[in-house]
Amino acid sequence: EDGYDLWLRHRLVADRSMLAHYRAAIDHVVVLGNHPVLRSAGEELARGLSGLLGRAIPVRNEVGKGAVVVGVNVLSPESLARLGPEGFMVKRLDGPERVVISSAGEQGALYGAFRFLQHLQRQLPLNQVDMADRPASPLRMINHWDNLNRSVERGYAGKSIFVWDELPELRERYVDYARVLASVGINHTVVNNVNASAEFLRSERLPGLAALAGVLRSWGVRLWVSANYASPITLTKDQADPITVADPLDPRVQQWWQDKIEEIYRIIPDFGGFLVKANSEGQPGPLDYGRTHAEGANMLADRLAPHDGRLVWRSFVHEGFDDWAEHQYRVFHPLDGQFHENAVVQTKNGPIDFQVREPVNPLFGGLPRTNQLIELQVTQEYTGHSTHLCYLVPEWKTILDFPTYTGTGSWPTVSDVVTGAAYGQENVGFAGVGNLGDDRDWTGYQLGAANLHGFARLAWDPTATADEVVTEWIELTFGCDRRVGSVLKAIMLQSWQVYESYTSPLGMGYLTYPLGAHFAPAPTTTQNLSHHTTAEGTGFDRTEATGSGYTGLYAQHWQDVYGSLERCPDELLLFMHWVPYTHQLHSGKTVIQHIYDSHFDGYERVLEFQRAWSRLKGQVDASRHGDIAATFDDHVVEAERWRDTIVAYFFGWSRILSTGPGWLQLAFPSGRLLFGGVPNSLDLEITNANSAEQS
């Protein structure tokens, strides 16, 4: 048990009566058709069922009693057509007794096969197996930030899975990678970093990418590449007559892309398209030539369109404005309606950069005539790498359920926008910055895989609750033991807010060194970027009345809520407002007391996680139990570091020791008031905090 199987863990069913029930009902697999995706479905069923039932379940040609049949249009074609080529039905039929998994398309049949296996992994009775399901959003995509040297930007799970220089030679693991994606309905993958090397498009590299695409194709996943916008310059520089610009309106540039795209489609006929990060963090782009993002995107989109390719263009741009949070909206909102049909704008969930808490990016309400993908960060760049447990599904739910109020009533929510429910678009969906690497457990720590699973499940069905999603993941990964399930579920579901509480409560935002690893606390380095902390108070005034004006980018409803000190929710207060330390929250506490308390409480909760997990010793296999226990040990150390640094930082500025009951304020040489009172336990801890920071 080293975690390699992730949620595709097809071990012998533990419940004996359920095992007997399955064994009596399942005997063989029948694949109707010869399509590679159907063959994958058949292979997966045979392998998975053999593991679960502890006996060989072969693939046969004839349907007999106990068959698990998979194929296209095997059940009522009208019902299947309604579910679309990626939707599926699973039904138990008689005469002979069999289970039928079917869809209007091969891909749906594959998804149905995985879902059937999951049903058995969860030890559910076969009389509950009848299902009909379809994905909510068309594009369900993983973004790898993998480089040619196999380093992974913001990756915490070893090197890239892809051994670029060895391709087109294929590794076994690529098949397992494709299975992992398909098992939760991911249908597109961008294999290289958005900070893209033009080398990925060099002709010599394409056969390697084609080989990889071939593996993915059998599992219904399309391969994409992140394209560097200056590729025509980089890749022609050794020619006699090199191209020296990347201007999208330059005919030579256009012709270069046209030829490149045709070259790609000749060997990868189902190539997904390009993902582009342009004019962001030093990347080249159309703005270098006085063109807009839409002009830049459309030039590529038009050339991909005849091949059924798409162009995804990121809206993550932040240079040049005083308030980073506003920049994306100010640049992209005026372009609404200008992007062509197969161009998609990919927008990060919040206006800054994947912080533990941010308001919803106002662009989700601000681009009704543009196809949008929501970009969520599965890899825990700002949320603890592979050391802090931080299960992100509860956070993503708050984002997806956010009502924009840009239509009528509170409509549409973010998930309505990215599923196409709001504006009927088809090129919309989800992009997750992945957390996969070549570590044996794939995601660097055992519990990190839950974020990948959760991302994919929400992309499939954003109405699923965090409780449902995590329960499914736990049962598929650790089995169905009730005690293990309830302890782990409680830990997982609290972990995001706990992480927030000992790092950056009240929407404070970015408190790690901006140019570094984004792991350890460094609040002094983000002064002015994310907070304006002084001796009197903290926060960032983003109101229209007195601040940057960011709150004005939302629909009236949110302008009123966020703009008002009274109505702004506590968890975003310091994102929207600058307040004195003694400002009273809705909870009744002062801001400074909340900062202190939440850091101490959060740390205590991590200790509780550690203790609760250690009590499960003997109930989870020893190797994974030990592995996770070791991660919690590190987690405790890091949580303490955050607590002490942030508490010391705010104490250092405010010089307010405590404003709670029996409160005490101390005078320091800067000459503030001294009141008497009963000190609480904070003062001792603060002594430690100061010495910790100094050391």
- Residue 662: exposure state from Cβ atoms within 10 A (0-12, 13-18, ≥19): exposed
Distance between CA atoms of 492 and 470, rounded to whole angstroms? 8
Single residue of 35, 91, 140, 154 touching ligand BDP by CB under 6 A: 154
Least distance between ligand BDP and beta carbon 381 (Å): 6
Query: Which residue number is nearest to ligand BDP in terms of Cβ?
Result: 353
* Distance between CA atoms of residues 110 and 18, nearest Å: 24
Q: Which helix (H) or strand (E) holds 608?
A: helix 591-614
Q: Which is nearer to ligand BDP, 316 or 581 (CB)?
A: 316
One of 353, 438, 439, 475 touching ligand BDP (CB under 6 A): 353
> In the 8-state DSSP scheme, what is residue 550?
G
Nearest approach, Cβ of residue 225 and ligand BDP (Å): 16
Residue 19 region by backbone torsions, left for phi larger than 0, else alpha for psi between -120 and 50, else beta? alpha
Residues 193-232 that bind ligand BDP (CB under 6 A): 194-195
As to burial, measured by CB atoms within 10 angstroms (0-12 exposed, 13-18 middle, 19+ buried), residue 505 is buried
Task: From 646, 652, 666, select the one nearest 534 (Cα to Cα).
Answer: 652
Would you count residue 153 as binding ligand BDP (CB under 6 A)? Answer: yes
In this structure, what DSSP letter does residue 307 have? G
Q: Does 526 bind ligand BDP (CB under 6 A)?
A: no
Which is nearer to ligand BDP, 354 or 554 (by Cβ)? Answer: 354
* Residue 105: other Cβ atoms inside 10 A: 21
Residue 462 tokens, joined: 């954003």
Nearer residue to ligand BDP within complex by CB, 126 or 345? 345
Nearer to ligand BDP, 195 or 582 (CB): 195
Q: Which of 44, 86, 358, 381 binds ligand BDP (CB under 6 A)?
A: 381
634 binds ligand BDP (CB under 6 A): no
CB of 558 to ligand BDP, least distance (A): 24
Q: What 3 state SS string does 361-423 have?
A: CCHHHHCCCCCEEEEEECCCCCCCCCCCCCCCHHHHHHHHCCECCCCCCCCCEHHHHHHCCCC
Indicate which residues carry an active-site annotation.
281, 353, 381
Per CB under 6 A, the list member of 274, 339, 354, 430 interacting with ligand BDP is: 354
Tokens 């984004």 found at: 518
What residues have CB less than 8 Å from 238, skipping those under 6 apart?
none
Query: Which amino acid, residue 288?
Result: D
Q: Which is nearer to ligand BDP, 153 or 250 (CB)?
A: 153
Kindly give, in sequence order, each residue whose CB lies less than 8 Å from that of residue 235, ignoring residues fewer than 6 positions away: 198, 201, 202
Burial class of residue 37 (count of CB atoms within 10 Å of its CB; 0-12, 13-18, 19+)? buried
Give the binding-site size for ligand BDP (rule: CB under 6 A).
Answer: 10
Q: Which is nearer to ligand BDP, 302 or 381 (CB)?
A: 381
**Where do runs of H (alpha helix) occur along 434-590?**
449-460, 466-478, 482-503, 556-563, 573-576
Task: Report the alpha-carbon distance of residue 167 to residue 200 in Å, rounded.
Answer: 12
Beta-carbon-side half-sphere exposure of residue 12 (alpha carbons within 13 Å): 7
Q: How far apart are CA 578 and CA 531, in angstroms?
A: 8
Nearer residue to ligand BDP within complex by CB, 383 or 610: 383
Question: Any idea which residue has 């983000």 for tokens?
Answer: 526
Look-up: residue for tokens 């304020």? 665
Q: How far is the CB of 195 from ligand BDP (least distance, A)?
A: 5
Among 140, 277, 457, 531, binds ligand BDP (CB under 6 A): 277
Q: Which of residues 180-199 bind ligand BDP (CB under 6 A)?
A: 194-195
> What Rg value do the Cα atoms of the chain yield, rounded?
27
Q: Which of 164, 316, 460, 600 binds ligand BDP (CB under 6 A)?
A: 316
Closest distance between ligand BDP and the C-beta of residue 433, in Å? 7
Contact between 301 and 342 (Cβ < 8 Å):
yes
Q: Report, in Å, the least distance between residue 202 CB and ligand BDP.
A: 22
Cβ nearer to ligand BDP, comparing 111 with 510: 510
Q: Which is nearer to ligand BDP, 281 or 468 (CB)?
A: 281
What is the distance between the alpha carbons of residues 580 and 598, in angstroms, rounded to a whole number? 18
Residues that bind ligand BDP (CB under 6 A): 153-154, 194-195, 277, 281, 316, 353-354, 381
